[in-house]
Amino acid sequence: MAKNLAGKVALVTGGSRGIGAAIAKRLAQEGAAVGITYASAKQKADEVVKAIQGDGGRAIAIAADNGDAAAVRKAVDETARVLGKIDVLVASAGIAKIAPVWEFSLEDFDKTVAVNVRGMFVAIQQALKYMGEGGRIITIGSINADRMPFAGGAVYAMSKAAVAGLVRGLARDLGPKGITVNNVQPGPVDTDLNPAEGPFAQKMKDFMALPRYGRDSEIAGMVAYLAGSEAAFVTGASLSIDGGFGA
């Protein structure tokens, strides 16, 4: 079968585990050479690289905390240097601090914005130095940008709403260059950090039209579509894949 991303190079920030790792593997299956960044989980990142290489793909892992602008820029440059270019950027790195507003420290507020918004902007800005016509920028937001049905998530929701707004504006900037920019908004997804049978899982399922958690492979499938040629006319969109959480 033809591989939709054959000859392409993708960078996935936060690609060492969870949704980011699933995206990296799926893009590699579609034929892309893949770079991933990780903040601290080197072993997990190496496992993703080995899995891709074991299937005959090309992959590298680069340490870069998304809250460190210099490290993010260096990771983008290193990906382009080793793999030759960047055609697809998936900005997946993010953090979630949940606490009521009266307990939320300014330090945690600043860190959330630094990682979830500023770091994403830096990665996009740097990747554009290597990206030409037909390039794809895909951010991983959250359905919480549109719906926050529980207490304590105000700052997280704010950061993901900022991502959605950034994407709409960037689509206008980059459309004339033939580069699309889109935002994927997952609902609850079964990962190590948010297990489908965890202490909050049933409460989340009660909010959904489909009473189950999503699979990371389902999010990766949406990203693979946006990265490919069939999505050439999709830009500035926030696409929810949430089992009806936001319905």
How far is it, in rounded angstroms, from Cα 113 to Cα 126?
18
**pLDDT for the residue numbered 1:** 60
More confident residue, 170 or 2: 170
Contact between residue 144 and residue 153 where contact means Cβ atoms under 8 Å apart: yes
State the chain's mean pLDDT as an integer: 96
| 134 phi, psi to nearest 5 deg | 90, 0
pLDDT digits (tens, 9 = 90+) for 102-154: 999 999 999 999 999 999 999 999 999 999 999 999 999 999 999 999 999 99
Torsion over CA: 221, 227, 228, 234 (sign): positive
How far is it, in rounded angstroms, from Cα 236 to Cα 30?
23
**What topology is assigned to 9-239 in CATH?**
Rossmann fold (3.40.50)
The catalytic residue among 130, 156, 213, 225 is 156
pLDDT digits (tens, 9 = 90+) for 47-68: 999 999 999 999 999 999 999 9
**pLDDT for the residue numbered 129:** 98
**pLDDT for the residue numbered 200:** 81
Q: Which helix (DSSP H) or strand (DSSP E) does residue 43 occupy?
A: helix 42-54
**pLDDT for the residue numbered 193:** 79
- pLDDT grade for 198, boundaries at 50, 70 and 90: confident
CB atoms within 10 A of CB 210: 13
How far is it, in rounded angstroms, from Cα 53 to Cα 114?
32
Burial track 124-134 (b if 16+ CB lie within 10 A, e otherwise): bebbbebbeee
Written as one letter, the residue type at 105 is S
**pLDDT for the residue numbered 233:** 98
Catalytic annotation on 130? no
pLDDT at residue 2 greater than cutoff 80: no
